[in-house]
Amino acid sequence: MEKDITIYDIARELDLSPTTISRALNDHPAVNKKTKQRISEAAAQMGYRSNLFASNLRRQRTNTIGLIVPRLDSPFHSSVIAGMEKVANEAGYNLIISQSLETLQKEIANANTMFNSRVDGLLVSLSFETETLEHFENFVSKGIPVIFYDRVAEHKECTSIVIDNLQAAYKATSHLIEQGCTNIVHITGNLKRNVYADRLKGFKYALIDHNLPFSEENVIISKMTEEAGTLAAQQILEMDPLPDGIFVSNDTCAVSCLKALKKANISIPRDIAVIGFNNDAISRVVEPNLTTINYPGQEMGEVALRVLLLQLNGSRDNVPSNTINLRSELIIRESSLKSKSNAKKKAVHL
């Protein structure tokens, strides 16, 4: 446990001032090239490492970006994070990550920690419970950029990054209708969240545009977990008449629902067609393969981080627009194909 080498040690060694050492190590133009050379050699040889705290303290920035996510153990969020880490790493930023576990209380606590850690920017995907954005006002009023992605909320100072959930749901529902479904159930999550509210809207509009009735009873609000899918299946099995199509707001829930229906001797897609959302790995494994919406997680993460970097480096008012929409697509697989003849029609880009 030897003590750290500081720029003062290097300065003493080379008989220069700490000022020059600091400048040289930051590649400041006002330092002679040869001096720079000598200094960087000495630094390497002496095993110097910069003290980021001293630096941060003085410059008032941290090169650290905060991330608050509902759950870390979700395929979608882990691919988003993978994308974020990649871009952040390349740009020399650290990522501090915390999870709200879908509770408002933890989301607030995490936001405060991030604020005290003085992150340069914040990325957030909201919890189920969140109603207002008060706990992010600290950031906004200090000019720290906050970016919402996927589970977003309107804020005039903040950029949001989403896919067009309404349109995706509209396409999915329309596809079910084209397959001959007339009595479709929609399983979705907490309607406080845009993703679920928008998908419900898309579902509803598709029905209306195709002259089908919309009924509240055909909408099941759930936690969207594996268990929730099983429960939803039970609920569906008690419906009379049975629906002939189900549009579920994520694949985890869609798959467990599908499995439970199969166990009850329902034929998929003949009796009931099923569509999920996310294009998780399980959607390609379940039998029949699940029709779903391809959701660009990694790309969303990369875009979110790039937009944040723009706001950090560029001028503050450099924000191109308040909401960025990423492309998503309907991936048609067996679970929704009632008419086999349609099987050729592969992927519909939205």
Partner DNA sequence: CAAATATATGAAATCGGTTTCAATAATTGC
Partner DNA sequence: GCAATTATTGAAACCGATTTCATATATTTG
Asked whether 25 and 55 are in contact (CB, 8 A), the reply is no
Report the C-alpha gap between 173 and 330 in whole angstroms. Answer: 10
* 117 binding partner (options its own copies, DNA, none; Cβ < 5 to 8 Å by kind): its own copies
Q: Which is nearer to its own copies, 282 or 308 (CB)?
A: 282
CB of 57 or CB of 82, closer to DNA: 57
Q: How far is the CB of 331 from its own copies (least distance, A)?
A: 16
157 binds its own copies per the rule CB under 8 A: no
Beta-carbon count within 10 A of 12 CB: 12
Q: Which is nearer to DNA, 13 or 226 (CB)?
A: 13
Q: Please say which residue, 82 or 239, places its beta carbon nearer to its own copies.
A: 82
| CA-based nearest residue to 306, from 98, 116, 147 | 147
Nearer Cβ to its own copies, position 53 or 240?
53
How near is the Cβ of 211 to its own copies at its closest, in Å?
36
The CB-of-283 to its own copies minimum distance in angstroms stands at: 9
Structure tokens at 157: 């100072």
Residue among 64, 88, 87 at smallest CA distance from 144: 64
Which residue from 242, 298, 306, 334 is in contact with its own copies, where contact means CB under 8 A? 298
> Closest Cα to residue 149, out of 41, 65, 220, 69?
69
Q: What residue ranges in 47-124 does DSSP mark as E strands?
A: 64-69, 94-99, 121-124
User: From its own copies, DNA, none, which one binds at residue 238 (CB under 5 to 8 Å depending on kind)?
Assistant: none
Nearer to its own copies, 45 or 51 (CB): 51
- Please answer whether residues 76 and 249 qualify as being in contact, where contact means their C-beta atoms are separated by less than 8 angstroms: no
Q: What is the Cα 157 distance to its own chain's centre?
A: 19
Q: How far apart are CA 142 and CA 182, in angstroms?
A: 52
Binding site for DNA (CB under 7 A): 3-4, 6-8, 15-20, 22-23, 25-26, 30-33, 35, 48-51, 54-55, 57-60
Q: Is 279 in the site for its own copies (CB under 8 A)?
A: no
CA angle in degrees (0–180, nearest 5) for 157-163-168: 145
Residues 226, 252 contacting (CB under 8 angstroms): yes
Residue list 80-109, contact with its own copies (CB under 8 A): 81-82, 85-86, 89, 94-99, 106
Q: Give the binding site for its own copies (CB under 8 A).
A: 1-2, 49-54, 56-57, 62, 64, 71-75, 77-79, 81-82, 85-86, 89, 94-99, 106, 110, 113, 115-118, 141-143, 226, 252, 255, 259, 281-282, 285-287, 297-298
